[in-house]
């Protein structure tokens, strides 16, 4: 009994000492000492714009992060390098209208691809084909594409291809980026639009889009019937969904020779991404949780707000 009493008294003293020790720690460090075992550290990748121009040089104090409307503490860290960047290129026998668009896009990638990152090339028609595994030699990507023969299948299973690429990239560590060079049309996919939407919300992959179809949006536009016009709008809406939900962007040029500029813009955005790291326990819950990031700068006591390209949330 006496031993038990001493043990109890010892435990009480130990707990008091622990409380006093925590009380002596500055506030920020005390918060850091409390660890939620169910939480995981996740990275938000984003770009900041003002009047269409990229804004760089912001510090942690220039951002506010909210998840489901609740303010979240975070730390600003440098984005991982090298990043894993996969090019997903439409390559179907029914995509003849887009041939020049693709050629210009690949030329733009060769000219503006950032040295040092890992790059891979995949193409799709009815099936997805990984043509070049990750390499730091941008020239290998364009060489491999130039050596492709004429595609045999006329199917364009965009939903399946995007879903599979998101799944592959989602298994990689670090910063992951998917560049879709496609029209957005879909003919025979097993996956449905909602399947792809949920996959986009579940994987931490930023999607940028070079939307093929400049002829359809440009010189051929007056000759499109209502059905064709609606299909084009739906295809573009799908691509905008991919980029908008992940913090990227989708561009839809009206001229083929604008695609090098599209690829330059994508590469500049990759090179100027910010990375906010915070703790959350919502990923993998199955329910969608909304993310909001504010970016601003205070000059002469006046707040200047910026546009933030960041993923919409997690599932």
pLDDT by residue (tens digit) across 16-44?
A: 344 333 333 333 333 344 556 678 999 99
Q: How many domains does the chain contain in total?
A: 3
Question: What's this model's pTM, rounded to 2 decimal places?
Answer: 0.87
Tell me: do 100 and 223 sit in the same domain.
yes
Residues 101 and 7 reside in one and the same domain: no
Q: Quick one: 281 and 151 in the same domain?
A: no
Range of the domain at 310: 35-79+273-314
Give the domain CATH number at 231: 3.40.50.410
Q: What is the share, in percent, of the chain residues with pLDDT greater than 70?
A: 88
From first to last of the 315 residues of the chain, give the pLDDT tens digit.
444 444 444 344 344 344 333 333 333 333 344 556 678 999 999 999 999 999 999 999 999 999 999 999 999 999 999 999 999 999 999 999 999 999 999 999 999 999 999 999 999 999 999 999 999 999 999 999 999 999 999 999 999 999 999 999 999 999 999 999 999 999 999 999 999 999 999 999 999 999 999 999 998 888 889 899 999 999 999 999 999 999 999 999 999 999 999 999 999 999 999 999 999 998 888 899 999 999 999 999 999 999 999 999 999
Task: Indicate if 100 and 195 belong to the same structural domain.
Answer: yes
Considering the domain architecture, whether residues 89 and 191 belong to the same structural domain is answered as yes
**What is the model's pLDDT at position 300?**
92
**Residue 43, CB-side half-sphere exposure with 13 Å CA sphere:** 17
Do 143 and 88 fall within a single domain? yes
In this structure, the answer to whether residues 27 and 158 fall within a common structural domain is: no
- Judgement on whether residues 27 and 64 belong to the same structural domain of the protein: no
For residue 157, the cross-strand partners are 186
Same domain, 172 and 244: yes
Angle at 280 between CA 15 and CA 41, to 5 degrees: 90
pLDDT per residue over 235-247, tens digit each? 999 999 999 999 9
Same-domain pairing of 137 and 250: yes
Residues 122 and 183 in one domain: yes
Q: Which pair of tokens denotes residue 103?
A: 């050629």
47 lies in the same domain as 69: yes
């Amino acid at each position: 009994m006496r031993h038990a009493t001493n043990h109890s008294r010892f435990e009480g003293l130990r707990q008091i000492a622990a409380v006093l020790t925590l009380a002596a720690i500055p506030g920020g460090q005390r918060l850091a000492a409390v660890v939620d075992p169910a939480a995981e550290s996740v990275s938000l990748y984003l770009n900041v714009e003002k009047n269409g121009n990229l804004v760089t040089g912001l510090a942690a104090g220039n951002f506010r992060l909210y998840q489901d409307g609740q303010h979240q503490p975070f730390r600003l860290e440098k984005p991982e390098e090298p990043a894993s960047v996969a090019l997903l290129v439409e390559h179907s026998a029914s995509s003849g209208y887009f041939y020049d668009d693709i050629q210009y896009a690949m030329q733009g990638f060769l000219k503006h691809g950032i040295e040092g990152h890992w790059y891979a090339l995949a193409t799709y028609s009815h099936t997805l084909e990984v043509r070049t595994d990750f390499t730091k030699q941008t020239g290998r990507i364009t060489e491999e594409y130039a050596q492709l023969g004429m595609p045999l299948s006329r199917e364009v299973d965009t939903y399946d291809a995007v879903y599979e690429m998101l799944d592959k990239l989602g298994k990689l560590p670090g910063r992951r980026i998917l560049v879709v060079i496609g029209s957005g049309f879909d003919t025979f996919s097993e996956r449905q639009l909602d399947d792809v939407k949920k996959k986009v919300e579940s994987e931490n992959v930023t999607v940028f889009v070079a939307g093929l179809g400049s002829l359809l949006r440009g010189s051929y536009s007056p000759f499109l019937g209502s059905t064709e016009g609606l299909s084009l709008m739906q295809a573009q809406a799908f691509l905008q969904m991919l980029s908008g939900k992940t913090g990227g962007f989708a561009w839809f040029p009206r001229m083929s020779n604008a695609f090098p500029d599209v690829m330059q813009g994508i590469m500049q955005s990759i090179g100027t991404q910010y990375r906010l790291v915070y703790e959350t326990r919502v990923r993998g819950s199955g329910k969608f949780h909304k993310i909001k990031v504010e970016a601003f700068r205070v000059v002469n006591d006046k707040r200047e707000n910026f546009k933030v390209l960041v993923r919409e949330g997690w599932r």
